[in-house]
């Protein structure tokens, strides 16, 4: 039996619609797989599903942190693995949905983390490392922890802060563990032509602006939410620059579209290099896609049963 399904893909590729279809037809519950949708009061800019769109399907790990709280991949891993077991105990199918590849990978594969606490000693060591080796070294360190980061190498304060947050769950050096699956999983990726994807992204930004994105970010800004993990998200940092007088509004919107397109490109690269994915055509008929996914799940389960019998036979021979 398949333990868990994950749906990944770049922003604006159609993950939400597919997740609802699968959850409805496979008796599933949905777990958030986006690192920014865990934050309250950050709904428009993160393209968070609205309650009226959930179609009665339970959604987990949305709005669990305040915008000024830190959150690490290690914490996410622990929470999601707990949710997977909870959902399975109800004889439901856990479905992880999101575009944060490292988070999904850390849950489904054997990523192990050390218990490192955020404290002044850690921060001091990081700044000593910065002084000794320079900004490029620290940015490379950040990329090793978070390949999807878009913090500029010259923004050393934010680079150090991001490393500090991520080191609350520091990956052990044995990276071969990350290739070992923790579950009998199926990972589905949505693919579509880049030009069409980029057009969707541009239109999504326009729709976000009409839905009140600027007001959503202004509310965070006026609350004094500054220099924290959440507002480094695409869709928020651009308008912080606008409120700080560093950009005109039109420039901020243009940067948001450009940053979103670049992020989508990085997402594709991460997914295709790091995860074993069944890629499906996002433009194909939904019923055909569902049948393709169902056939893949059935075939994977068939192979798993055969492998289990082979192992049992070998054990008996010994």
Residue 20 Cα distances to 3, 14, 46, 51, 111, angstroms: 18, 10, 18, 13, 28
9 assigned binding-site residue: yes
14 assigned binding-site residue: yes
For residues 200 and 183, give the distance between their C-alpha atoms in angstroms, rounded to a whole number: 33
100 assigned binding-site residue: no
For residues 304 and 151, give the distance between their C-alpha atoms in angstroms, rounded to a whole number: 42
For residues 166 and 172, give the distance between their C-alpha atoms in angstroms, rounded to a whole number: 13
Strands 170-171 and 113-114: antiparallel
Closest CA to 146 of 119, 168, 117, 120: 168
Contact 277, 271 (CB under 8 A): yes
What DSSP character marks residue 51? Answer: G
- Helix, strand, coil percent values for the chain (each to nearest 5): 55, 10, 30
82 assigned binding-site residue: no
264 assigned binding-site residue: no
168 assigned binding-site residue: no
Contact 65, 38 (CB under 8 A): yes
For residues 131 and 164, give the distance between their C-alpha atoms in angstroms, rounded to a whole number: 16
222 assigned binding-site residue: no
Q: What is residue 74's three-state secondary structure?
A: helix
Q: What angle do CA 244, 249, 252 make, to 5 degrees?
A: 80
CA 39 from chain centre, in angstroms, equals: 13
Stated as kind and residue range, the H or E segment containing 32 is strand 28-32
Cross-strand partners of 278? 188
Contact 135, 88 (CB under 8 A): no
Binding site as annotated, residues for substrate: 11-16
Binding site as annotated, residues for ATP: 9-16
Binding site as annotated, residues: 9-16
């Amino acid at each position: 039996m398949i333990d868990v399904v994950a749906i990944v893909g770049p922003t604006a590729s159609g993950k939400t619609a597919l997740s609802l279809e699968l959850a409805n037809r496979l008796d599933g519950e949905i777990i958030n797989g986006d690192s920014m949708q865990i934050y309250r009061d950050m709904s428009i800019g993160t393209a968070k599903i609205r309650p009226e769109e959930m179609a009665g399907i339970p959604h987990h790990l949305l709005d669990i942190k305040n915008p000024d709280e830190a959150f690490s991949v290690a914490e996410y891993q622990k929470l999601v693995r707990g949710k997977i077991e909870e959902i399975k105990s109800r004889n439901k199918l856990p479905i992880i949905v999101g575009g944060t590849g490292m988070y999904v990978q850390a849950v489904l594969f054997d990523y192990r983390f050390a218990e490192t606490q955020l404290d002044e000693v850690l921060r001091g060591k990081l700044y000593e490392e910065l002084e000794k080796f320079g900004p490029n070294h620290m940015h490379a360190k950040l990329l090793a922890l978070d390949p999807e980061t878009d913090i500029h190498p010259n923004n050393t304060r934010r680079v150090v802060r991001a490393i500090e947050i991520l080191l609350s769950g520091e990956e052990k050096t044995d990276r071969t563990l990350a290739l070992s699956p923790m579950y009998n999983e199926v990972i589905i990726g949505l693919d579509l032509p880049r030009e069409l994807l980029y057009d969707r992204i541009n239109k999504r930004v326009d729709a976000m602006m009409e839905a009140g994105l600027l007001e959503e970010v202004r509310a965070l800004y006026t609350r004094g939410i500054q220099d924290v993990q959440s507002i480094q998200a695409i869709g928020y940092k651009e308008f912080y620059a606008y409120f700080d007088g560093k950009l005109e509004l039109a420039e901020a919107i243009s940067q948001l579209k450009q940053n979103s397109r670049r992020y989508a490109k990085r997402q594709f690269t991460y997914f295709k290099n790091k995860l074993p994915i069944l890629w499906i055509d996002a433009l194909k008929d939904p019923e055909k896609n569902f049948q393709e996914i169902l056939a893949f799940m059935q075939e994977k389960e068939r192979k798993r049963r055969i492998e289990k019998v082979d192992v049992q036979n070998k054990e008996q021979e010994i």
